[in-house]
């Protein structure tokens, strides 16, 4: 329990051979990790609002998606710094190694994301987020859609995880994938790296909470990770099954049904990130209490 404390007077030490000084980096790191998760959730809320406005007939300009992209970049950078600080915190329960591993994966995801954005977001970024206004697409000699031109696209920095819902059906029904492998592999790699980052982020939060001897916060972080991954997997499978049914039965749901489905899907994705944000905030509270 958080208020159980540790017995004995004087300088307390953890298994890693460091004293209460180790709580300081963990306190600052978990604060940044919590800010990162709230930014993550805010990004999805913004995207959900944009989808809702679109359903009501509103027109969402590319600038709105750039705001979500900016919030996303804050999320990625702040979370990475938070993990690095937590790596300097208590070493019990494998917290230090888990934080270092999560930071490495987060750094890899950030590199892939910036590379994806530098290429203009690609065809999938254009379709999903209205990205790549400076891009033009043409059909090459092999009948593939290829991008011509394009600049750094901030909007795709918001999140790429929902692209998994669209990419998997595309890979099933297309021999070369939309736009060829170059248009599919990088978005898929970024989306998978984002999910891996989320999982390790929550595992790192669990390890930090365990190192701080707060079993409640540790259990909450682990439960959030399991539920989030389960929900995201269910969404991918669900969308895949719906795509197969629509394709095989030659159904034509219509534009209105398609928009409602997109809105429902975005709402589901948004709900997935509520518990992780609350769980990491609980770890932050545990570190703040220990660091008093």
Q: What angle, rounded to 10 degrees, do the helices at 23-55 and 62-86 form?
A: 160
Instruction: Say what the pLDDT of residue 62 is.
Output: 73
Residue-wise pLDDT tens for the chain (292 aa)?
A: 444 444 433 334 444 444 455 788 889 999 999 999 999 999 999 999 988 888 887 787 778 888 998 999 999 999 999 999 999 888 887 899 999 999 999 999 999 999 888 877 655 555 455 544 445 545 555 554 445 555 677 888 899 898 888 766 766 666 544 444 556 778 888 999 999 999 999 999 999 999 999 999 999 999 999 999 999 999 998 988 888 788 788 777 777 777 788 889 899 999 999 999 999 999 999 999 887 7
Q: How far apart are CA 79 and CA 52, in angstroms?
A: 28
SS (H, E, C) 48-77: HHHHHHHHCCCCCCHHHHHHHHHHHHHHHH
| 3-state class (DSSP) for residue 11 | coil
How far is residue 272's CA from residue 212's CA, in Å, rounded to a whole number? 26
Among residues 70, 186, 189, 58, the alpha carbon closest in space to that of 122 is found at 186
What is the model's pLDDT at position 11?
37
pLDDT of residue 122: 55
Return the bridge partners of 136, or none.
148
> Pick from 156, 110, 111: which is nearest to 132 by CA?
156
Predicted pLDDT of residue 99? 95
Q: What is the DSSP string of 135-199?
A: -EEEE-TTS-EEEE-----GGGGS--TTHHHHHHHHHHH-SS-TT-HHHHHHHHHHHHHHHHHHH
Q: In this predicted structure, what is the pLDDT of residue 129?
A: 53
CA dihedral sign, ordered 91, 97, 100, 101: negative
pLDDT score of 233: 93
Tokens of 156: 């795709």
**Tokens representing residue 290 in the block:** 């220990």
Confidence at residue 239, expressed as pLDDT on a 0 to 100 scale: 87
Collect contacts of 47-54 with beta carbons under 8 A, ≥24 apart: 47/158, 47/159, 47/266, 47/270, 48/263, 48/266, 48/267, 48/270, 51/262, 51/263, 51/266, 52/263, 54/259
**Residue 274 CB burial class (10 angstroms; 0-12, 13-18, ≥19):** middle
């Amino acid at each position: 329990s958080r208020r159980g404390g540790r017995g004995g007077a004087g300088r307390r030490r953890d298994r890693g051979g460091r004293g209460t000084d180790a709580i300081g980096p963990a306190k600052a790191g978990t604060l940044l990790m919590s800010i990162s998760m709230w930014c993550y959730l805010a990004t999805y809320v913004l995207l959900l609002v944009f989808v809702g406005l679109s359903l009501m007939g509103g027109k969402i300009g590319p600038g709105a998606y750039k705001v979500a992209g900016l919030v996303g970049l804050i999320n990625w950078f702040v979370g990475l710094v938070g993990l690095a600080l937590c790596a300097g915190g208590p070493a019990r329960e494998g917290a230090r190694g888990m934080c270092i591993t999560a930071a490495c994966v987060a750094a890899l995801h950030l590199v892939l994301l910036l590379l994806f954005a530098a290429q203009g977001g690609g065809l999938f970024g254009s379709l999903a987020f209205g990205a790549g206004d400076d891009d033009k697409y043409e059909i090459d000699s092999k009948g593939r859609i290829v991008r011509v031109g394009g600049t750094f696209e901030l909007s795709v920095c918001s999140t790429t995880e929902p692209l998994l819902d669209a990419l998997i059906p595309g890979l099933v029904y297309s021999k070369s994938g939309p736009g060829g492998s170059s248009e599919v592999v990088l978005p898929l790699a970024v989306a998978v790296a984002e999910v891996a980052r989320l999982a390790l982020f929550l595992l790192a939060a669990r390890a930090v909470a365990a190192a701080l001897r707060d079993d409640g916060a540790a259990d909450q972080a682990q439960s959030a990770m399991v539920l989030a991954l389960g929900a995201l997997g269910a969404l991918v499978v669900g969308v895949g099954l719906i795509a197969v049914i629509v394709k095989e039965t030659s159904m034509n749901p219509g534009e209105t049904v398609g928009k409602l489905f997109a809105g429902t899907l975005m709402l589901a994705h948004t709900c997935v990130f509520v518990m992780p944000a609350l769980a990491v905030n609980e770890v932050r509270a545990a570190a703040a209490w220990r660091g008093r």
